[in-house]
Amino acid sequence: MQTVLLVIHLLITMAMIGIILIQRSEGGMGLGGGNMSGLMTTRGSANLLTHLTGILAACFLGTSILLAILTSHQSRPSSILGVERLTTLS
């Protein structure tokens, strides 16, 4: 279950990176400022990409929380140094 969720999480991450890189820069802090014409310059495609980025971000957050919950339920030592394990061996 955890492996499947991790693969889905990575696919969402790659999709979100791709969508963000496709978007046109509107600020002056990026390379080239706002003067460069992007791949998609119409207002409708900008809204679509913005909504898609939000959806992917929500999915990313959801899979991150699910992975954290699944990881916290795994068996783990109760001590960092493993003191309990050493005392049971003696």
Q: How far apart (Å, rounded) are the C-alpha atoms in residues 10 and 4?
A: 10
pLDDT value at position 82?
61
**pTM for this model (two decimals):** 0.64
The residue with greater pLDDT, 1 or 84, is 1
Structure confidence by residue, pLDDT tens digits, 33-75:
555 455 555 566 678 889 999 999 999 999 999 999 998 877 6
How buried is residue 5: exposed, middle or buried, by Cβ count under 10 Å (0-12/13-18/19+)? middle
Mean pLDDT, rounded, of the chain: 78
Q: What is the mean pLDDT of residues 13-32?
A: 79
Alpha carbon 65 to its chain's center: 11
Pick the more confident residue, 30 or 25.
25
Rounded to 10°, the helix 2-22/43-72 angle is 160
CA dihedral 59, 60, 61, 62 (to 10 degrees): 50
